[in-house]
Amino acid sequence: MTVDATGAAGTLGEVAVRAAGVWKVYGGGQTRVEALADVSADFGKGRFTAIMGPSGSGKSTLLHCLAGLDKPSDGQVFLGDVDLTKLPEKQLTHLRRDRIGFVFQAFNLVPTLTALENITLPLDLAGRKPDQDWLTTVIDTIGLTDRLSHKPAELSGGQQQRVACARALVSRPDVVFADEPTGNLDSRSSADVLAFLHRSVRDFHQTVVMVTHDPAAAAYADRVLFLADGTLESELVDPTAESVLDTMKQLEAAGAEHLAG
């Protein structure tokens, strides 16, 4: 299925990232796995998109290809009008550093640095000065002003993940890619992190693409794409936890029927 929704709820907007006929094939012969099979999708600028699907359906592979962390076997990925699949590794590294933010399930903070130093690390590495107004806005929004001098080990999991989100946003990237950002968190901390990502989109026009297993997490997004066996099977605009759950059940039932048939 080709999904061509450049924005949610019928608003046609600019495209931040585009997958065009993306394939990712591992192995060959009897061990050949089509992790992605001809996936095409647009991810609107200033939108929050969730990617869902059963285990092994290709979610992480798609996220990694979209973020330039992995090369598709075939097809193209555009960040704005730059084709990531054509970029030499060095330019790709610079582009990831300057234009993309990442949030992973394991918070990946540097243990010897304070929360503030972790947040500004991407800019320090790039030799850039933070935009003070934006830095203050991000820090105010994550709600950790009184914890900035703490090391990661002195913060809860939810607080560490909010620091990781702030780090992803500090350079005002074109897109933040989040891979199961709430996978290690309890429901209260998950809600804090998701509310922050949601606010970064709604109030600050950032763009977020998030892989999740959790229907409640997906409900924070403007739009949910559902993968099954490496292909896009379905899409929901303005999702609720209930509508996401229903769609997942339908896809699972269709998958079971397909296997039985």
Ligand X SMILES: Nc1ncnc2c1ncn2[C@@H]1O[C@H](COP(=O)(O)OP(=O)(O)OP(=O)(O)O)[C@@H](O)[C@H]1O
Please identify, among the stretches 48-56, 113-121, 142-150, 198-206, the one whose residues bind ligand X according to the rule CB under 6 A.
48-56
Q: Does 61 help bind ligand X (rule: CB under 6 A)? A: yes
Both structure tokens of 98: 């300057």
Please identify, among the stretches 58-66, 71-79, 102-110, 195-203, the one whose residues bind ligand X according to the rule CB under 6 A.
58-66
Which of 163, 181, 183 minimizes the C-alpha distance to 113? 163
Ordered DSSP codes for 151-196: -GGGS-HHHHHHHHHHHHHTT--SEEEEESTTTTS-HHHHHHHHHH
Q: Does 7 help bind ligand X (rule: CB under 6 A)? A: no
- Return the amino acid letter for 27: G
Selected binder of ligand X within 58, 68, 181, 239 (CB under 6 A): 58
Q: Does 60 help bind ligand X (rule: CB under 6 A)? A: yes
Q: Which is nearer to ligand X, 60 or 137 (CB)?
A: 60
Q: Does 26 help bind ligand X (rule: CB under 6 A)? A: yes
Start-to-end CA distance of the chain, whole Å, equals 21
**Near ligand X in 138-197, by CB under 6 A:** none
Selected binder of ligand X within 59, 96, 147, 223 (CB under 6 A): 59
Please identify, among the stretches 59-67, 76-84, 88-96, 121-129, the one whose residues bind ligand X according to the rule CB under 6 A.
59-67
Q: Does 56 help bind ligand X (rule: CB under 6 A)? A: yes
Q: Which is nearer to ligand X, 61 or 207 (CB)?
A: 61
Side-chain-facing half-sphere of 68: CA atoms under 13 Å? 27
- CA 50 to CA 261: how far, in whole Å? 30
Phi-psi map region of 172: left, alpha, beta (phi>0 left; psi -120 to 50 alpha): left
- CA 217 to CA 182: how far, in whole Å? 8
Q: Does 40 help bind ligand X (rule: CB under 6 A)? A: no
Q: Which is nearer to ligand X, 84 or 166 (CB)?
A: 84
Binding residues for ligand X (CB under 6 A) = 26-27, 33, 35, 53, 55-61
